[in-house]
Each structure stands twice: as C-alpha cells, then as structure tokens.
Amino acid sequence: MQKEIIVASSLCVRFNNQTVLDDVSFKVHEGEVFALLGGNGAGKSTTLKTFLGTVLPVSGNASILDMSVTDEIDSIRRKVAYLPESVTLYGHLSGIENIEYFLSLAQITCSTKAIEEALKRVALQENAWHRAMSNYSKGMRQKVAIALALLRNAPVLFLDEPTSGLDPNAIDEFNQLIATLAAEGTTVFMVTHDVYGACQIAHRIGLLDNGKIVGMFERGESSHIDTESVHSAFSARNKR
C-alpha cells in the first residue's frame, strides 16, 4: 500500500459568498504524478493555492505528509517545491544567483557545484548561467525554477501549468525530468488545461468542473492515460 502524501478531504472554498471548490476530495500517493485537469475557472489554481496555504478552506481539510495546511503550513513549506505557471525570477540576478537567493530563503545550503549540476540536469545552456535573467526566454526561466525545485530536494512538487508556453523539445525534456523525479519517489501534483500533456505525464488525472471533481482517469497497465477518453469527458464538460 503506497503512502498517501497529498490528501484533500471534502474541501470547500468560497470567495465573496461564491463557492469555488465544492466538496473536493482526492489522494495522491508517494511517487505519483497527479494532474488536476479543468477549463478556465474550474477551480484548479484555487486547489493548488489551498495546498500552498495562500487560500484557506471554509470547510474540509487539505493535508500534505499528514500535516494540515491550516495548522502546519510552515512545516509543509519546507517539504514542498512550487513551480508557478509563469516563472518570473529576479531579472537583475543571474540564474545561479537567483537559485542561491531562493535556496537561502529556504535555509538550504548548496555548493555552486551542486547548483551547476542541477542546471546541467535541466539542460540550461552553460553560457546563460551567469547572465542576468532579464535576458532569459520563458523556457530558460522555467528550467532555472525546475533546477531550484530539484535542489530543494522536496518530496512534494506542485506545478502550475508547467508546460504552458514551452516549445515541443522543452516539453519533452520537462516530461522526462518529471517522470524521473517520480520514479525516484517525488510526489508531483500539477494543474493544467493541457489534456494531451496531462495524459502523457500523469499517473492519474482528476477532472475538475465548476469546483467539483467530476471524473478520475488512471493509466492502468498502459504507458499513458488514454487521451481520447479524457478529451471526450473534458470537451463534454466545456461544451455545456
């Protein structure tokens, strides 16, 4: 029985008396890649923010590694790495300086060699390492943020639309990296509206619509989730 790392139990979130998440429940196991799929306004980002502790649920519970986000958010943040949709690090610092700064915020000491190893692993070209990040492309910024997540050595990784705006090669590299991390035991939770991407990378997909989980898809014995069935369910919801 695999360990439950991320658990949502009857999560309800309201903004200005409007229900954004309604009785959302799911579990993500150790080493699993879980994708929460949904259209605009479905509640994906709110679910993610609830686990990051920036949005508080009105009822229900969200926990990571058996720690409740409402009570132990500081302890949770030491175990979690977050990759935002649009990675904007500090433009006046280089890639290496940004990583050093954010690691220092997380109170993690890392040698320059380890940082360089991580940048090699995410395939960021070496001549960019010491350049100011204001000159980086979106894909390059994404790679720095992934390197940061790797160096944090966090057992749980939260990804917000991770492949949005990346070129096909970068998406392939990214998917391979996530698969490797999951194989090494990292639990990955991602929110996306990219049906194809989610099917390629995730072990399980939760379909979110109007604040409710309306479907759950699994890989089973296959190497990836059947894109057709997920797409049909997703389109049917979006056409309503």
Partner 1 sequence: MKFFSNITREARFLFKQKYLVGILTAVFALSLFSVWSGLSEMQTQSSTIERLKEKDRVDRENVLAKQSGYGSAAYYAFHLTYSEPSNLAFAAIGQRDVFPWKHRIRMLAIEGQIYETDADNPELSFLGRFDFAFLVSVLLPLFVILLLHDLRSSEREAGRYDLLITTAVKQKYLWLTRAFVLSASLALVLLVPFVIGAVISNASFVGTSLIVLVVFAHIVFWTLLIVWYTSNKMALKQNSTQVASALLSVWLMVSVLIPATTDVAIDKMVTSPNGGDILLVQREAVNDAWDLPDSVTWDAFLATHPQWKNYTDMGLTFEWKWYYAFQQVGDQKASELSEKYRQATLEKDTLASRLALLSPPMLTQRLMSSLAETDTQAAMQYEQNIRAYHNSLRHFYYPLMFTRAEFSLDKMSELPDFSQFSKK
Give contact residues for partner 1 (rule: CB under 8 A): 49, 52-54, 74, 77-78, 80, 82, 84, 86-90, 92-93, 97, 101-102, 104-107, 145, 152, 158
Q: Please say which residue, 104 or 125, places its beta carbon nearer to partner 1.
A: 104
Sequence-distant (6+) residues with CB within 8 A of 172 are: none
**What's the closest the beta carbon of residue 80 comes to partner 1, in angstroms?**
7
**What's the closest the beta carbon of residue 152 comes to partner 1, in angstroms?**
8
Torsion angles phi and psi, residue 224, rounded to 5: -150, 165
**What's the closest the beta carbon of residue 145 comes to partner 1, in angstroms?**
8
> Residues 198, 230: contact at Cβ < 8 Å?
yes
**What's the closest the beta carbon of residue 71 comes to partner 1, in angstroms?**
15
**What's the closest the beta carbon of residue 225 comes to partner 1, in angstroms?**
28
**What's the closest the beta carbon of residue 224 comes to partner 1, in angstroms?**
29
Q: Please say which residue, 160 or 209, places its beta carbon nearer to partner 1.
A: 160
Q: Which helix (H) or strand (E) holds 94?
A: none
Q: Please say which residue, 72 or 226, places its beta carbon nearer to partner 1.
A: 72
Q: Please say which residue, 26 or 82, places its beta carbon nearer to partner 1.
A: 82
Report the distance separating Cα 216 and Cα 208, nearest Å.
Answer: 9
Q: Please say which residue, 5 or 80, places its beta carbon nearer to partner 1.
A: 80
Report the distance separating Cα 4 and Cα 156, nearest Å.
Answer: 11
In terms of C-beta density within 10 A (0-12 exposed, 13-18 middle, 19 or more buried), how is residue 20 classed? buried
Report the distance separating Cα 193 and Cα 229, nearest Å.
Answer: 15
Q: Please say which residue, 152 or 204, places its beta carbon nearer to partner 1.
A: 152
Report the distance separating Cα 46 and Cα 43, nearest Å.
Answer: 5
164 CB-side CA count, 13 A: 14
